[in-house]
Structure 1
């Protein structure tokens, strides 16, 4: 009996249509530009408008990839985020409505800091293994906020990815070998009464690297030789420089040739991240997308090791395998055009947008997108209910 292979059949991506350049941020904050572009590894950060939220971004990412038949076949929607605006109603329920998915579908939201998109993909994979005819829509969507002139300001961002998970995928297969790890930490958290995250930056980086070393060592014991077969090694990237820090720790744990091979793919795997910033649950998968559309050395059958991390803290190491004709299945032109056509913001405009908030007291809101905006948007908020439109 032929083994059922499950993985990612389609990938959609959305980023807000405006950004702030690190040159402007460094000038305004009186910080040397190299601290941002080299020390952090960031060139631009995406800035969402007031009428954009995790639902609009997620719907915009998913709309690109779903056919009418997909909408009839999808029977599960999993929305991964740490930017939720409702403690009861899931963002997935809005997606189900906006994309007109057939009614007999399960829809829910998942949270565990930046890790939950990985949990969603693994859950989707397990579901399809049990139901080989099923399709699962996984969405990762987040808005990263740390505060104006804060130490984390440079690592803000916003964006969404959408994945269609099914049997016999055309882009990536999710391997059965994986290993997760959990240990309670206060390295990054956001209490319910706060709109900005609390973070212990250096401490969080240390926990990230500690988890990486521990998982890599244990993974090698449980699955000897598997990780060494990977052509690239990708990481959750709250800032792109952290991937370089992690790979240095792999020296002595795997062969030097393998570490050098992994390092050679880092530049292509960070290109999009450097242009967008931190998108929490989607940062690892934005790096994956960057690798797929920019790296010309990838071939069908190549394996990619993935290190997923979410503060609090949970991490997982797993393996993906590239499928035949994968490069024909990802719309690289659309993604490149989306990034290139964004509008540059001045510091004044960025700070104005940042300080403009949706009502926090239950009052009404009317969304008025600019004429050149294309996609889903918050149409209004009335009686504590969000209504979405499309332009």
Structure 2
């Protein structure tokens, strides 16, 4: 039975910062960001969006009357959860009007959470081929103003439906994974901004990638010659390039050229959005689908990494029903309609924090379908503009 990714959608707010402007404001050479880091723009997330609304705005693109009753689980990968007890998945379930007879679980292991959800979903659908699983990766990446990590901020959400006979990517059964207790990146409960040992984290990323790639090859007997492209977790896009370069010598000159071309296609969206944490790998995959020339049956490699640390290499083949035209059109419209913020405007948005008490937020500048309306009695209030009513949680 063939199981994999049937639909893959993305959402982030339309406000963004041009990193050339940020470089000038921080007295840096713009090429340090554009080339050295591999980023050109960065999504700016307003206080009226959180992990739940970002996920709802992404998932509402692929959940409709045709598949709503088939959804059996919502697996929500995030490291930007809004409650220490209640999962973001159950908030999302209500916003999407999903049936009551389903599981709603939040998954956390840094940027790896959505991949855990993908693998759990695969195994569930294998046993229940008439059902679908909604997998989410939704996060807001924050390091602070005037910090080394500022250029790798961003945010947004990906939403995937995992089904039998998928229309995008058929997952292979084999995968290789590796975990160690490593302090390369962490987010203590008392902090809103992440802590990271940047150079160490880069080295661990490469070490984990090489380890799982070798393990995968040992399991399957496959080599780099069996792959048309690789998609990477991209905290910044130069990181994925470093990963690919670690194994490029295994390929012929002709294949190296193809793999490099496809890598450029895979990082097109990420370099204009920034870091998505759990969603990063799957935005890269969406970018690959939309911007590379792919054919049915070609094999794609995926490297998922979550600091702390967990790495996994998995793979899949392009479905016979693969078609990226509608997604390409969505992204073209999205990028064309974005609103560029000045550095001062970006800093003002960044510094606007959600208070730890009841509040009514001004949502007039947020044109998303789902927004965070405020807090009442310590409960977040969500607005679905398609219903013009507040959803109380």
- The alignment status of 1:99 with 2:96, answered yes or no, reads yes
2:288: which partner in 1?
291
Q: Is contact 2:237-2:270 (8 Å) kept? A: yes
2:211: which partner in 1?
214
CA shift digits 1:192-229 (9 cap, x unpaired): 11111100000000000011111122222221125531
Q: Secondary structure at the match of 1:271?
A: coil
What is the rounded CA distance, in whole Å, between the counterparts of 1:326 and 1:101 in structure 2? 27
What is the rounded CA distance, in whole Å, between the counterparts of 2:326 and 2:171 in structure 1? 17
- The alignment status of 1:369 with 2:359, answered yes or no, reads no
1:310: which partner in 2?
306
Q: Which one of 331, 339, 346 corresponds to residue 342 of structure 2?
A: 346
Distance change in 2, residues 1:359/1:371 (3 Å): closer
Q: CA deviation at 1:331?
A: 2.5
Q: Is contact 2:299-2:317 (8 Å) kept? A: yes
What is the rounded CA distance, in whole Å, between the counterparts of 2:227 and 2:102 in structure 1? 35
Q: CA deviation at 1:372?
A: 6.3
Q: Is contact 1:247-1:259 (8 Å) kept? A: no
Q: CA deviation at 1:15?
A: 1.2
Q: Secondary structure at the match of 2:46?
A: coil
1:146: which partner in 2?
143
Q: Is contact 2:41-2:272 (8 Å) kept? A: yes
Q: Which one of 241, 264, 271 corresponds to residue 274 of structure 1?
A: 271
Alignment of 1:318-357 (within 5 A): 318-328=314-324, 330-357=326-353
What is the rounded CA distance, in whole Å, between the counterparts of 1:181 and 1:247 in structure 2? 18
What is the rounded CA distance, in whole Å, between the counterparts of 2:326 and 2:76 in structure 1? 21
2:78: which partner in 1?
81
TM-score, normalising length from structure 1? 0.96
What is the rounded CA distance, in whole Å, between the counterparts of 1:257 and 1:317 in structure 2? 24
Q: CA deviation at 1:390?
A: 2.1
- The alignment status of 1:239 with 2:236, answered yes or no, reads yes
Aligned length: 385
Q: Is contact 1:10-1:170 (8 Å) kept? A: yes
What is the rounded CA distance, in whole Å, between the counterparts of 2:251 and 2:179 in structure 1? 24
Q: CA deviation at 1:261?
A: 2.6
What is the rounded CA distance, in whole Å, between the counterparts of 2:325 and 2:17 in structure 1? 30
Q: CA deviation at 1:336?
A: 2.0
Q: Is contact 1:15-1:339 (8 Å) kept? A: no
TM-score, normalising length from structure 2? 0.95
2:58: which partner in 1?
61
Q: Is contact 2:289-2:324 (8 Å) kept? A: no
Q: Is contact 1:75-1:135 (8 Å) kept? A: yes
1:378: which partner in 2?
372
Q: Which moved more, 1:204-213 or 1:256-265?
A: 256-265
Q: CA deviation at 1:151?
A: 0.1
2:161: which partner in 1?
164
What is the rounded CA distance, in whole Å, between the counterparts of 1:213 and 1:151 in structure 2? 26
Q: Is contact 1:54-1:141 (8 Å) kept? A: yes
Q: CA deviation at 1:24?
A: 1.0
What is the rounded CA distance, in whole Å, between the counterparts of 2:50 and 2:248 in structure 1? 41
Q: Which one of 185, 197, 222 corresponds to residue 194 of structure 2?
A: 197
Q: Secondary structure at the match of 1:378?
A: strand
Q: Is contact 2:224-2:250 (8 Å) kept? A: no
What is the rounded CA distance, in whole Å, between the counterparts of 2:199 and 2:168 in structure 1? 36
Distance change in 2, residues 1:255/1:225 (3 Å): farther
Q: Is contact 1:170-1:329 (8 Å) kept? A: no
What is the rounded CA distance, in whole Å, between the counterparts of 2:308 and 2:22 in structure 1? 29
CA shift digits 1:237-256 (9 cap, x unpaired): 10101122112211444545
1:181: which partner in 2?
178
Q: Is contact 1:179-1:317 (8 Å) kept? A: yes
